[in-house]
Amino acid sequence: MELFAMTEQQIETLAQRVATLVLQKDGLSACEHEKSRREFVYGIQGIASLFKVSRQTAQIYKNTWLKPAVSQRGRTIKVDKELALELFDKKQVETI
């Protein structure tokens, strides 16, 4: 099929297939590629800035409902920003 005769959906499907092939060539699965694009905040101050709260409140968040989004190695705290915001939204719905 010629490119100019393709529908928008066919072009989109072709683009997805090409992207998958490129990722496979680089040795990455789609899941690994998505993980590499995640954004993180670091430390208690990062949590405090993300939620616009005090450091003390950020510490409480880290130790309670935010725990699934937090990974800590030694003194380094890394928080998955997207997951943290999802957990915050879920917490807000539960408290209403």
Q: What is the mean pLDDT of residues 53-67?
A: 96
Q: Using one digit for the tens of pLDDT, what is the confidence trace for 22-52?
A: 666 666 555 555 555 789 999 999 999 999 9
How confident is the model at residue 29, as a pLDDT? 59
How confident is the model at residue 93, as a pLDDT? 84
CB atoms within 10 A of CB 50: 17
The full 3-state SS of 4-41, as one line of letters, equals HHCCHHHHHHHHHHHHHHHHHHCCCCHHHHHHHCCCEE
Share of the chain above pLDDT 70, in %: 80
